[in-house]
Structures are given as C-alpha cells and as structure tokens.
Chain A
Amino acid sequence: MFQGGWFGKLLRINLTDQTSREEEIPEELLKKYLGGAALGSKILYDELAPGIDPLGEENKLLYTTGPLTGTDVPCASRLNIATKSPLTGTVTNSLSGGHFPVELKWTGYDIIVIEGRAKKPVYVVIKEGRVSFKSAEKLWGLNTVDTQVLIKENLKDLNVRISCIGPAGENQSMIAAIINEVRAAGRKGVGAVMGSKNLKAVVVRGTQKVPITDEKRFKAGVRGVLEGLKASPMAYPVFSKVGSVSAAEPVSAVGCFPSNNWQNDKEVDWVEKIGAAGLAESAQSNNSCYRCPVSCSQVRMAKKGKYAGISTEGPEFETVYSLGSNVGVTDSAAVIAADRLCDELGLDTISAGVCISMAMELVQRGLLTDEDGLDLRFGNDNAVMRMLRDLAYRQGQMGSLFADGTKRAVKILGENTAMYAMQVKGLELPAYDVRGFKAHGLNFATSYTGADHNKGYANQEVFGMPVPYPVERLELKGKGILTKFNQDFCGLFDTVTFCEFPASFMLDSFQKLVAQLISGATGLDFTEQEMWDVGERLNNLCRMFNVREGFSRKDDTLPERLMTEPLKNGLSKGEKISREDLDFMLDEYYEARQWDSNGIPTPEKLTALGLEDTIKDLPQKA
C-alpha cells in the first residue's frame, strides 16, 4: 500500500446543489494512472457520457495534480485541467505552473472534480479542510487581476492562491483560458467550461505536507534532477537567460516562424524585432514557479511609446508569434501589452492571435468586410487590442464571428474561408510552420487535443536535440515512430505534472528519474518501462475517448494551406506537407502505435495497456 506522494483523496464539488464530498481514490487507479493528465482523462472517460455538450451541465472540470506536486522535487508545481473541450470536442488536458498547484495539493486533495452548474455566479474556497461557496455576483465582469485582489480582500487573507476566469470565460468564448494567479491553463477553451458552470474562481489555502515514504530514495531522485539540469546544455546556459522566447531564433532561422496568418510573404528579422533581442530592453526580472531553479519566466515592461509602463510575465514564445509575427506586429511593446490584455481578459493568446490573423487575411482578400471599423490590417496593433476585447466580450461583428475560434468562424462564413483557418480539430496552430518540421506537423495532426505542440514536441527537429537520435527535419521517413516516442514522453510529464521544459532537457534520463522519484515518494516500486507505459496508456485512452466521440483518421489532418502552399522564403522554401506526405507519415504512425489503418486502437493494444474497459467502445465493424 502506498504511504506517500498522493493523499489518495478526491474532492467532488457539485455546483448545482452547492455540496461537496471527499472520496478515496482506489490505489489501483493511482498506480496505473499516477495523476495529472492520465488520471484526469480516466475519470472523464468513466464519468462523461459520449456526445455530451462540453458547455452543458453534464461536463466536468477537473483540477488534477500528481504524486510529485507539492513535494521538494524541482519543477513539479504543475496543475492539470482536464475536461471535454468545447473548442475541439475532444478530451483535453491543459496545464500551467506557478504556485497555485502546490497550494492545491496542500489542501490534502490530489484531485478536485467540479460538477453541475451554479444558478448564480459563485467562487469556491477550499481552506482548512472546509469547502465554502461564496457569491461571485460582484466579481462577475471583472478581469482576472481585479478578481484576485477583491477575493483576497473579501477573505481577508493575502495568502490564498486563486484560479479564475475573466470576461472571456464568463462569456463562454471557446478560446477562454483559466488564469492561475499569473499563469494560464490557456488552451482548448477550459475557461469557457468554467464560465458555463457560473464558477468565477477556485481559491485554495493548504497546510498539509505531502508525505514521502522513502526519503533516501526520493532525495537521490531530487539530486538526479538537479544534476540533470546542471548537465543539460539547454537549461541554464540558454533557457534561464531569456526563457521560452529563445526558440524564436532557431525557428525563424530555418524560415519556419509563421507570419501574417502563415502567409509568410515577407522576410522580417523577427528575433531583432520581437524575439529575445527585441524584448531585451523590456526585461525587468526573472520569476519562477515553486521550487524551480531554472526560473525561465521573464517579467517585462514596455519602456516607451503608447504602451510604456505596461508589464507582463511574458510574453512567451508562442505569444510573440500569435500576437506578434502572425498579426504582422513588429513592435515588442505592443506584444507585451497584448499579452497582458489576454491575461486580464482570460484569453488563450495563441487562439486569440490566430483568430485575429484569420480575420485580417479575410479582410485583405476581400472575403470579409470590416463592419466594426477595426482597420484590420496586418501590423496594426490598435486593431489587435480592440479585437481582443471583442473576442472576450463577444461584441461586435468580429467578436460574434471569432469568439469560438477559427473552425466555427468558417461554419458561419462559408467553406471558401477554410483555407485561412489555421487549426486542427478546432485548435489554432502554435508557432511552428510545420511545413519545415515534419514530425512536429505529424504531432499537430494526431495529438489528442488538436494542434498542441506540448503533446508531442519534436525537440529533435526544432532544436536539433540528438536524443534519442539526431533527425533530419525535412525527412518524412521515421517520423511516425519519432512522434509516438515524443507523445509518450510528453504524456508522462503531463501525468506526473512535471514542467515540460526541464523534462525535455533531460530527455535521455527523465523516465528513469521519475520512476525513482515516485517510488521514493509513494513507497511503491515503479520501473522506467512503466513510465513509458504511462505515457502510452494516456495517449491510447485519450484516443479512445475521441474515437467514442466519432474521431478517426479523417480528423488527423492539417490545414489545407500547409498541404498545398509551399513555403515562399528562407531555408525551408518550397516545403509543404502534401496529403500524400501526411498519409505516408500517418500510416507509419498508426503502425508504430499498433492502431488500425483508420487510426483506431486495436483490442490487442488496449489489452496490453490495461485498457480492456474501453474495448466495448470500439466502432463496430460492418
């Protein structure tokens, strides 16, 4: 029996009748799914009926932690939000860091399951073993910063940690984020689910220490992480210095930093304008999540011009793309201001930026008339700022068209606009023009949450990481096997809730270290192979969730533009991923996964992973 790592407790909160109850989590479930993304997905699989409305009362919103959250392990203060995504219709896991995750774990619960829908806006406080429901009617309409200030004032407690939504979530924009203090569980519309439940915030204050069973083994694992980070050429020498925006340089250098809604029609030195170099003068300080020695987060403040004085924790690499290059904005101060505005409104910066860039291109091509007079030209930061508000408040022509993402905009505007919707399964594309990164493209096509870079990051192609082996980014062959490797790797850090960046820096030793750490924490014995199995189980379970919703090979695709328009400039000029290229990689990927040619897991594979319960949900063969 386990004696540490987990508390083994789940808190179930029903918003409809404002009740809560504590449940034991069966040890078998903990051992098999560990926590975070895998355990969250398992609960959703078992408790959500297929076909439910993600914004209906029947959907559930899960806050899940892992066996390392709240312990002394560096880089493990991560929170996973699991739900059925309104944006994609798939199961989803959206993660964020900061200090909220450990505080949640210290309440004594590994998981919080939020069910039902409150009649009026509420926020929930979990503190000193008690759950209380508070009226949020006076908070409704406030941005995420003011919300947190007022809650702390109302509770007369500055030490609580707060997870909340802004106006975007309240208005159930399907690109709304949940903001955990200053960190965003940004993607796939998790904020809309929270808003649909009339839940403004979850407030936690914890005092329980996470028990560790085998201190010696656990501490050896902690030392292993610290040594692994020290030995990594990526961690302190590069990543600590400028954070995630350092990726702009290698991505841009090979001509794969998307601009102007992926038209990439102009050659601009984006690094100098809005990348690490462009943002350098705005640098204020580094910030870190709980017990993270890497401290990648950069606090920046616009120094001059109309945005002078606006500060943000960021912008991260993805935002530099989505609210910078992809909308043609070359002013780093404008990107800082837009990043800050998204955090306040509770918007996903990636999806919001791609919605704006699509609108700009439609106006550019005469496929959409700008009735609101936003002046939607690429490079017009004023238009970006105005449209962000419109998205969050669903106001005006652009707000009503794009508040639910680009895929739904196409449904309203017509199929002739589909070419300009840069999304997969409804999720807007992150900052990699995958015409020049083939495995990364295959991951966008096959990830269980749509175009999510974090669910199968191809470090080998983007950064030249030689683990497990060097790869040629433009080659198709071998990318199916590599993508399975990357997705299963990512599946583990999402599950034990360890930050992706340091995990990737230790790509060659991470599974072994995690096995050691959770063995030490829980007192159970885990092997390196079992850690790989956890990642693979997650990807198969989530695939089965989506299969049950009707997803299959037809949905594992890429935007038409990437398959038909070759890149116009730079070192990847002429590259695309044609339909035939994608089919070639999909065949290899399905074979590596032991799925059938339609992308459906086989009963044998499901059995081997201990997912026999899902076999009944396989499509019936004619």
Chain B
Amino acid sequence: MTVEIIGVGVFRQIMGKSKIPLEIASVDRNTVTVHIVLEKLDTLYDGQFAKELYLEDGTPNLWTRIMLNGRDIRFLGEDKLFVQDGDAILISSVMAGG
C-alpha cells in the first residue's frame, strides 16, 4: 500500500520535500500502524526521524506532532492507529510564528 508522508519543519528538511509517497508491504488490513511507518521512515532516513521524535532518554518529544489523516495520534485509541492505503501521515517538528 502507499501512504502519503507530509513533513513539516525539520522533517520537511530531512525528506527534502514536503510530501513523499511511501510504499509499505502489508499482509492484511490491520497490520501496519503509524509507529511501524515511523520506524520505516527512520530507517529510510538514517535515524534522523527518531532523533527528532524522541528525547535523549527515549521518551516522546511532546513538541513534535504526528497526525493520521489530520487527527493527532495522541488522541486516537490504539485501535485507530492502523494505516490503510491512501492514508496521510503528517509529522511536524516544533514551529512558531503567526
């Protein structure tokens, strides 16, 4: 299946563009979660994703935001974190302005 990855801030810089399609092999409908996609991205970009997503002690960086189809995954139940073909995942580092 193909998932659209949208990078904001540092993640856009790492990806070199704002959006990329990511091919992921899936066995059946509910096998790939957002976390698996993040791991795949981290591998693809030589560990640069994890460096931004987690603090040195391994806890999640609260200033980064991950959305699945526009919904912040912190507010989605575990059963809502499965990724389907055509889904969009946004990964944003801390931003400012306005």
Q: Which residues of A contact B (CB under 8 A)?
A: 233-235, 237-239, 242-250, 253-255, 269, 271-272, 317-318, 431, 436, 453, 457, 462-466, 470, 472-475, 501, 504-505, 570-573
Whether A250 pairs with B8 at a CB distance below 8 angstroms is yes
> Are A571 and B72 CB-contacts (below 8 A) given A249-B95, A253-B6, A464-B63?
no
| Interfacial chain A residues near B18, Cβ < 8 Å | 253, 269, 271-272
| Interfacial chain B residues near A465, Cβ < 8 Å | 63
> Are A250 and B70 CB-contacts (below 8 A) given A472-B75, A505-B96?
no
Bound Cα distance A415, B95 (Å):
40
Bound Cα distance A599, B88 (Å):
40
> Are A245 and B97 CB-contacts (below 8 A) given A269-B18, A472-B75, A571-B90?
yes
Whether B96 pairs with A474 at a CB distance below 8 angstroms is no
Whether A464 pairs with B98 at a CB distance below 8 angstroms is no
| Interfacial chain B residues near A571, Cβ < 8 Å | 6, 67, 69-70, 88, 90
| Interfacial chain B residues near A473, Cβ < 8 Å | 72
Whether B9 pairs with A249 at a CB distance below 8 angstroms is yes
Bound Cα distance A573, B67 (Å):
14
| Interfacial chain A residues near B63, Cβ < 8 Å | 233, 464-466
Whether B9 pairs with A474 at a CB distance below 8 angstroms is no
Closest Cβ–Cβ distance, residue A272 to chain B (whole Å): 8
The 5 closest A-B pairs by CB, nearest first: A247-B97, A571-B70, A464-B65, A234-B96, A246-B97
Bound Cα distance A466, B92 (Å):
13
Whether A474 pairs with B70 at a CB distance below 8 angstroms is yes
Bound Cα distance A474, B70 (Å):
9
Bound Cα distance A199, B30 (Å):
69
Whether A246 pairs with B74 at a CB distance below 8 angstroms is no
Closest Cβ–Cβ distance, residue A320 to chain B (whole Å): 10
Bound Cα distance A242, B95 (Å):
11
| Interfacial chain A residues near B69, Cβ < 8 Å | 571
Residue among B6, B95, B97 with the most chain A CB within 10 A? Answer: B97
Query: Could you mark each residue 83-98 of chain B with 1 if its beta carbon is under 8 Å from any beta carbon of chain A, else 0?
Result: 0000010101011111
Q: In the complex, which residue of chain A has the Cβ closest to the Cβ of B75?
A: A472
Whether B12 sits at the interface, judged by CB under 8 Å, is yes
Q: In the complex, which residue of chain B has the Cβ closest to the Cβ of A240?
A: B96
Bound Cα distance A248, B96 (Å):
9
| Interfacial chain A residues near B12, Cβ < 8 Å | 249
Whether B80 sits at the interface, judged by CB under 8 Å, is no
Whether A317 pairs with B98 at a CB distance below 8 angstroms is yes
21 A–B contacts, CB within 8 A, in A order = A234-B94, A239-B96, A239-B97, A244-B97, A247-B95, A247-B97, A248-B97, A249-B12, A253-B8, A254-B70, A255-B70, A318-B98, A453-B98, A464-B92, A464-B94, A472-B71, A472-B72, A474-B71, A501-B98, A571-B70, A571-B88
Whether B62 sits at the interface, judged by CB under 8 Å, is yes
| Interfacial chain A residues near B6, Cβ < 8 Å | 253, 571
| Interfacial chain A residues near B96, Cβ < 8 Å | 234-235, 238-239, 246-247, 463, 501, 504-505
| Interfacial chain A residues near B64, Cβ < 8 Å | 464
Query: Could you mark each residue 1-25 of chain B with 1 if its beta carbon is under 8 Å from any beta carbon of chain A, else 0?
Result: 0000010110010000010000000
Bound Cα distance A472, B9 (Å):
20
> Are A253 and B90 CB-contacts (below 8 A) given A247-B96, A571-B67, A571-B70?
yes
Bound Cα distance A242, B96 (Å):
10
Whether A253 pairs with B92 at a CB distance below 8 angstroms is yes
| Interfacial chain A residues near B90, Cβ < 8 Å | 253-254, 571
| Interfacial chain B residues near A255, Cβ < 8 Å | 70
| Interfacial chain B residues near A463, Cβ < 8 Å | 94-96
Whether A250 pairs with B62 at a CB distance below 8 angstroms is no
Closest Cβ–Cβ distance, residue B18 to chain A (whole Å): 6
Within B43-80, the residues touching A (CB, 8 Å) are 62-65, 67, 69-72, 74-75
Whether A237 pairs with B94 at a CB distance below 8 angstroms is yes
Bound Cα distance A350, B55 (Å):
39
Query: Could you mark each residue 27-47 of chain B with 1 if its beta carbon is under 8 Å from any beta carbon of chain A, else 0?
Result: 000000000000000000000
Q: In the complex, which residue of chain A has the Cβ closest to the Cβ of B12?
A: A249
Closest Cβ–Cβ distance, residue A142 to chain B (whole Å): 32
> Are A254 and B67 CB-contacts (below 8 A) given A246-B96, A247-B98, A463-B94?
yes
Closest Cβ–Cβ distance, residue B77 to chain A (whole Å): 12
Closest Cβ–Cβ distance, residue A252 to chain B (whole Å): 9
Q: In the complex, which residue of chain A has the Cβ closest to the Cβ of B74?
A: A470
| Interfacial chain B residues near A254, Cβ < 8 Å | 67, 70, 90
Bound Cα distance A376, B30 (Å):
51
Bound Cα distance A261, B71 (Å):
26
| Interfacial chain B residues near A501, Cβ < 8 Å | 96, 98
Bound Cα distance A473, B70 (Å):
9
